[in-house]
Structure 1
Amino acid sequence: MAIRIGNGVTVMNQQVLLAGVGVTPFVPLGQGDARALAVCAVRMAMADASIDFELIDHIVLACAQGGAGNGEQLLAPLGFSGIPLINLSDGCASGHAAFHLARQSLLSGESACALVVGCDAMPVEIGSHAFFGLREPSPDSPCQAVGGGLLQQRIASRQQPLELYAAQTRQLLQDFGLSAECLQQVLNAARQRALLDPSALLAGLPGSGWQQPYLATPACGAAALMMCTPAFARRYGIQADIACLASLRGADFDDDLDPPSVFDALGRSTTHRLVRQIYDQAGLGPEDVDVVELHDQSVGDYLINSAALGFCRDEQLVSFAQDGFGRSPGGAVICPSGGLLGRGHAPGATAIAQLVELSLQLSGRAGARQVTHARTALQHSMALGRAVSLTLLQRTSS
């Protein structure tokens, strides 16, 4: 039996399980050592799964600031045993891309056990463009806001992330009846939730010199996942009862940016389209989701993405913001970890840290932030709207 994964491609119907997880504390820029963070997260995930390093068939390492051979350098303290290692560097899309690739290796039968690692440790003086994985613009390049007559100009707006997020905030205040107090209330609620998350040590700390009031704080951190097939889990006696039901990545259609919209430049249309696809693939809907970790790079992202994912309507955004980080109207708990706004954002590690959080929630190990009776979880990540990713997880045991 086979399942469709898009564009007519099929793979054997093989379940993928999350066997072990690890996440380091996220710390301010300039205070993290990439090798120490990555090795710590991997050792935590191996201990959680009770798996030796030599049993891993495949490693994918995500690092937004990584270069050639970065993974081999970061994981050198664990030793070299001929395990294939792939390095990925794709800005804020890096973490989910690594997860998706490792999952595909398991689905295809290429691997029985895969390790996914996300890590970033950036210097305190890093600029906003470099943080997002972009090249610094030349002094004579014009700042492209969302708008203009050419598709290329609208896409170019993503090369100016701070201006794009500032435009997002202005649009929220102008078109949705939100106030600055509402936006601050969401940010405060995120930071309060983050106080319950031992990996989120950035709550309330000042950001970088280019930090805007409603953006997530840049951070250093690492996260790791051990993934395996059911046969591997049975063979080694691993108690793995979190399954990945689906993992998707999507991008723009031409029509998404015509007419121009700052929300669609930041991924609203793609998120809305992709979530319908993943729900259809899994036979679920937003009403079936108990807990969500979405990409809240900004307060605006939290609000707009909550609506795009089906957890509220656009006309409910004011009351949704006033409720802070409570449950959606359908009952899902959104960002119990505090999200990027509460934990901080280390681009290569963030998506994997989201999956770690959801695994902890589904296995009942999230401590004071535990969502009761959580069985189905949705993870959402973005890279300035140019790439949107979704993952559905579900606890297989009753």
Structure 2
Amino acid sequence: MTRKAFVVGVGMTKFEKPETGDRQYWDMVREAGGAALHDAGIAYGQVEQVPVGYCYQASTAGQRAAYELGLSGVPVYNVNNNCATGATALMLARQFVAGGVNDCVLALGFEKMTRGPLGGSASGGDFSTSPVSRHYGVMAARHGFEKSPPTAQIFGNAAREHMERHGTTPEQLATVGVKNHRHSVRNPYAQFRDEYTLDEVLDARTIHAPLTKLQCSPTSDGAAAAVVASERFVEEHGLGERAVEIAAQAMATDTEESFASGSCVDAVGLPMSRAAARRVYAESGLGIEDVDVIELHDCFSINELLTYEALGMCAEGGSGELVADGATTYGGQWVVNPSGGLISKGHPLGATGLAQCAELVWQLRGEAADRQVPGARVGLAHNIGLGGAAVVTLLRRG
């Protein structure tokens, strides 16, 4: 990558429960994409390429969605990388710009989902033809396969292993839910905006022990978008005051380390998250100590704790104490998931990574209203998809 890339416009819809409205996915993209273009102060005709992320719609749904913004004939790419889809679309946009291919690219992400747990039923534990068969095989060999939702099982079993290995407590896991639900109260885009006590999170319905419902991300409908531009485009269009630099970005996928230990902690993505973070720190010359605000992939409370360790925010096994001590909320060393995170903001798969980008851009511009992190200048986004992909993005405002 030889050129700088900047996010100059962001937009998103409010995330909603599936099947609660009559909006189609293209309606949501028209709203989110239109907002991003308006935020950048540009027209769709100035966009040169459009990567579009989604998981639940048919092939070329990206074109159908993007056509709501204009019929300029530019290339549209359909992107599917499980829960990391949104950040993957953003990464493609950044590569087009930083690699000198384009000066202005629009990344879109959306999802119109169905109610119920992600991954459906366990189907008797037969995932032999699934793309995540190796991951569930690790879990089945150590923990068996139960009737609870499979994604909750594998992350719940990762939580059990972390508790056995490091003494992490149910209260520490639940504190993640308490924190993120509390943060979402201030976010008008969040699917849920209710605050809960620690006891309420602990006493909520168990999905797969030790994880309760209020520690699990819901399925959601929603869309998000980001305009990524070159330094030349920023200068020519007078966008310097609104531009946020993508200082570094990296994607990692599973390696032998993900499966060799036989641990769900590794199978759900800790090694690839750690690898992507290290590459971002090396590329940017910044470390986690330089970061002010973080949007990370808390699909389940345990994954927030695992990501603290992967990002180097604490030593291995120290994440439970970190969240319990208040280090990851307002007044602490970092503010993690000021949006409410996936647990409370919602998780429309294709939109999640771009919604993280939108929140961080607003934070670094000082436009996050009453959820603003004071003095935020550096933000980090972490978006992960089981099966697997981990994308870490470092954003910086000069």
TM-score by length of 1: 0.86
**Displacement of 1:153:** 3.3
Corresponding residue for 1:7?
A: none
Q: 1:199 aligns with which of 183, 189, 205?
A: 189
Instruction: Pick the aligned partner of 1:368 from 329, 354, 370.
Output: 370
Structure 1, residues 1-46: CA drift from partner, whole Å, max 9, x if none?
xxxxxxxxxx4x2110111110111111212531211110011111
CA offsets 1:318-361 (integer angstroms, 9 cap, x no match): 32232357349982221111211121111100000001111111
1:311 aligns with 2:313: yes
Same amino acid, percent of matched pairs: 29
Helix, strand or coil at the partner of 2:10 = strand
Q: Which amino acid aligns with 1:58?
A: Q
Regions of 4+ moved over 6 Å: 155-159, 205-211
Contact 1:46 1:52 survives alignment (8 Å): yes
Hey, what does 2:262 align to over in structure 1? 260
Kept in 1: contact 2:257–2:266 (CA 8 A): no
d(CA) in 2 for partners of 1:395, 1:345 = 27
What is the alpha-carbon distance in structure 2 between the residues aligned to residue 269 and residue 329 of structure 1?
29
Query: 1:86 matched to which residue of 2?
Result: 77
Q: Structure 1 pair 314/227, CA: closer, same or farther in 2 (3 Å)? A: same
Distance (whole Å) between structure 2 residues aligned to residue 285 and residue 140 of structure 1: 41
| In 2, Cα distance between equivalents of 1:249 and 1:322 | 30
Select 2:297's aligned residue among 295, 298, 301. 295
Distance 1:325 1:224, change over 3 A: farther
1:200/1:104 Cα in 2 relative to 1: closer, same or farther (>3 Å)? same
Q: 1:28 aligns with which of 1, 6, 17?
A: 17
What is the aligned partner in structure 2 of residue 133 from structure 1? none
Distance 1:364 1:54, change over 3 A: same
Following superposition, the deviation at residue 106 of structure 1 comes to 1.0
Question: In 1, are the aligned partners of 2:138 and 2:264 still within 8 Å (CA)?
Answer: no
Alpha-carbon spacing, 1:330–1:368, altered in 2? closer, same or farther (3 Å): closer
Q: C-alpha root-mean-square deviation of aligned residues, in Å? A: 3.0
What secondary structure, in the 3-state scheme, does the structure 1 residue paired with 2:221 have? strand
Partner Cα separation in structure 1 for residue 135 and residue 152 of structure 2: 20
Answer with 209-218 or 269-278: which moved more: 209-218
Residue 364 of structure 1 deviates from its aligned partner by 0.7
Does residue 114 (structure 1) correspond to residue 105 (structure 2)? The answer is yes
Contact 2:82 2:386 in 1 (8 A): no
Aligned to 1:8: none
Q: Counterpart of 2:11 in structure 1: which amino acid?
A: G
Deviations, residues 73-106 of structure 1 (Å, cap 9, x unaligned): 2233323111111111222121111111111111
Candidates 252, 270, 280, aligned match of 1:278: 280
Shift of 1:208: 12
Q: How many residues align?
A: 375
- TM-score, with normalisation over the residues of structure 2? 0.86
Shift of 1:51: 0.5
List gaps (5 residues or longer) in structure 1.
1-10, 131-135, 145-149
